[in-house]
């Protein structure tokens, strides 16, 4: 009655939300204050006030037709021009309005970009563990191979040897994600330089460019005054996908972009293929009100220092208890090692204590679990005795 592959994709997604729904039910039974839900990546800090102000201002000054008409399929020209100006001012990017395609956020950007890049089903896309499981969903159902680079569990940087081994003559692109979901690691400039050198060498070797897709939804969610690297400065064939879901705390509004800088080989051709793939997938334009919002708020973000407080609260306490945690430099996830290496059982044990965390097996990094600390600080404090009990189960 419908496609079995699509059914299976849908059924898995339903399974994913089971943990969240379990949490909601438990909250009803034992009180919301006794459930410690660290399962989701929904930003806990509010959107900055300027978002609301921009919307009120817009709705008070623009006509319905100005606000709500179809926009250009690539996005409003003035918004793309704003994006170019912003990236040029902030990162000296050297890009123009035509280098941007405004999208219905990160997943849309990646699905469309991967389809635009895929010339043939023999094309392969490389992902680096641990990685956001949806990457696979944009690659495999269109017939391509999703080649996984094993995690660097020593430093949670990227294994250059691993990437080298993953590259074949069929490699079209590699996706990186820094700051990383789920590890919270941030790739160093050295890692990026090494990757760029490898990709340059291997592109020459296989006779066609290997595109570097830099998926950056957590770009500004970075701590300890670490610099934000503009990846295209390090490797010409870099395509950036960005989302305002985290930086502006607007995940439900679905707004982001694809940036194909002018140094990318044949970038205009790729921009047109992106337009075609967006069309095939049923995207007409990104939501018009929120296109205007991103230009109006001019680089504002939510108050990232709130996440930083949570980061210290959970990292310091769990480390003190004896948990083995990856030091979190960005995003809002703490990556914790299962005490006996069995992450599925660790997740189940936590669940018994009403701590909801996600085993990283789905992220291709078994043995670890992801704790989303984009939550109320109070909940972290309340959860600490339960974390003590959880560790005690292993002693």
Task: Please list every residue from 320 through 349 that binds a second copy, using CB under 8 A.
Answer: none
Sole binder of a second copy in the list 26, 39, 99, 109 (CB under 8 A): 109
Nearer to a second copy, 13 or 155 (CB): 13
Residue 127 bridge partners (DSSP): 148, 175
The answer to whether 139 touches 146, Cβ cutoff 8 Å, is yes
Nearer to a second copy, 14 or 92 (CB): 14
Nearer to a second copy, 108 or 128 (CB): 108
Q: Which stretch binds a second copy (CB under 8 A): 25-33, 91-99, 132-140, 212-220?
A: 132-140
Sole binder of a second copy in the list 159, 177, 238, 249 (CB under 8 A): 249
Sole binder of a second copy in the list 266, 324, 340, 348 (CB under 8 A): 266
Binding flag, residue 107, a second copy (CB under 8 A):
yes
**Shortest Å, Cβ 150 to a second copy:** 25
Nearer to a second copy, 121 or 165 (CB): 121
> Where in 141-170 is the site for a second copy (CB under 8 A)?
141-142
Q: Which stretch binds a second copy (CB under 8 A): 174-182, 251-259, 337-345, 357-365?
A: 251-259
The answer to whether 175 touches 215, Cβ cutoff 8 Å, is yes
CA distance 305 to 33: 24
Binding flag, residue 207, a second copy (CB under 8 A):
no
Binding flag, residue 173, a second copy (CB under 8 A):
no
> Where in 274-303 is the site for a second copy (CB under 8 A)?
274-290
CA distance 356 to 335: 14
Nearer to a second copy, 123 or 152 (CB): 123
Q: Which stretch binds a second copy (CB under 8 A): 27-35, 117-125, 342-350, 351-359?
A: 117-125
Q: Is 314 exposed, middle or buried (0-12, 13-18, 19+ CB in 10 A)?
A: buried
> Where in 18-57 is the site for a second copy (CB under 8 A)?
40, 42-44, 46-47, 51-52, 55-56
Residue 214 bridge partners (DSSP): 176, 240
Binding flag, residue 304, a second copy (CB under 8 A):
no
CA distance 385 to 382: 7
Sole binder of a second copy in the list 7, 31, 34, 161 (CB under 8 A): 7
Binding flag, residue 250, a second copy (CB under 8 A):
yes
Pairing of strands 124-128, 145-149: parallel
Across 41-79, b (16+ Cβ under 10 Å) vs e yields bebbbebbeebeebbeeeeeeeeeeeeeeebeebbbeeb
Binding flag, residue 3, a second copy (CB under 8 A):
yes
User: Which contiguous run of DSSP H or E holds residue 195?
Assistant: helix 189-206
Nearer to a second copy, 41 or 179 (CB): 41
Nearer to a second copy, 48 or 150 (CB): 48
Helix (H, G, I), strand (E, B) or coil at 207: coil
- How is residue 395 written in tokens? 């002693």
The answer to whether 140 touches 124, Cβ cutoff 8 Å, is no
CA distance 186 to 189: 9
Q: Is the dihedral of CA 57, 63, 69, 72 positive or negative?
A: negative
Nearer to a second copy, 119 or 316 (CB): 119
In the block, residue with structure tokens 């690297």: 229
CB atoms closer than 10 angstroms to residue 395? 6
User: What is residue 222's DSSP assignment?
Assistant: B
CA distance 154 to 131: 16
Nearer to a second copy, 3 or 348 (CB): 3
Binding flag, residue 238, a second copy (CB under 8 A):
no
> Where in 64-103 is the site for a second copy (CB under 8 A)?
64-65, 67-73
- How is residue 297 written in tokens? 């708020």
Which residues, including other chains, have CB under 8 Å from residue 319's CB and lie 6 or more apart?
A: 325
Residues near a second copy (CB under 8 A), total: 85
Sole binder of a second copy in the list 265, 303, 316, 348 (CB under 8 A): 265
Nearer to a second copy, 14 or 225 (CB): 14
């Amino acid at each position: 009655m419908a496609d079995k592959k699509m059914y299976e994709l849908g059924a898995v997604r339903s399974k994913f939300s089971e943990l969240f729904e379990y949490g909601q039910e438990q909250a009803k039974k034992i009180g919301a204050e006794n459930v410690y839900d660290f399962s989701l990546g929904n930003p806990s800090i509010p959107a900055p006030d300027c978002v609301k102000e921009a919307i009120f201002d817009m709705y008070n000054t623009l006509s319905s037709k100005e606000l709500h008409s179809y926009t250009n399929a690539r996005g409003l020209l003035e918004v793309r021009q704003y994006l170019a100006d912003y990236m040029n001012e902030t990162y000296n990017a050297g890009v123009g309005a035509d280098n941007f395609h405004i999208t219905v956020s990160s997943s849309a950007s990646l699905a469309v970009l991967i389809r635009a890049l895929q010339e043939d089903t023999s094309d392969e896309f490389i992902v680096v563990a641990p990685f956001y499981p949806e990457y696979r969903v944009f690659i495999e159902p269109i017939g391509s191979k999703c080649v996984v680079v094993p995690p660097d569990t020593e430093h949670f940087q990227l294994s250059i040897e691993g990437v080298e081994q993953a590259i074949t003559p069929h490699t079209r692109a590699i996706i990186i994600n820094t700051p990383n979901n789920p590890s919270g690691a941030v790739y160093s400039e050295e890692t990026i330089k090494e990757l760029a050198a490898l990709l340059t060498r291997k592109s020459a070797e296989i006779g066609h460019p290997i595109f570097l897709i830099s998926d950056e939804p957590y770009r500004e969610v970075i701590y300890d005054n670490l610099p934000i690297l503009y990846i295209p400065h390090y490797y010409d064939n870099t395509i950036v996908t960005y989302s305002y879901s985290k930086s502006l705390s607007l995940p439900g509004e679905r707004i982001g972009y694809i940036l194909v800088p002018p140094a990318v080989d044949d970038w205009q051709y790729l921009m047109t293929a992106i337009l075609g793939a967006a069309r095939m997938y049923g995207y007409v334009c990104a939501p018009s009100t929120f296109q205007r919002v991103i230009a109006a708020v001019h680089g504002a973000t939510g108050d990232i220092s709130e996440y930083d407080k949570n980061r210290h609260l959970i990292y310091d306490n769990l480390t003190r208890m004896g948990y083995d945690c990856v030091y979190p430099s960005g995003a809002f996830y703490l990556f914790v090692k299962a005490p006996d290496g069995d992450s599925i059982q660790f997740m189940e044990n936590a669940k018994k204590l009403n701590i909801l965390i996600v085993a990283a097996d789905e992220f291709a990094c078994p043995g670890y679990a992801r704790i989303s600390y984009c939550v109320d600080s109070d909940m972290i404090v309340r959860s600490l005795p339960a974390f003590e009990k959880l560790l005690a189960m292993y002693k």
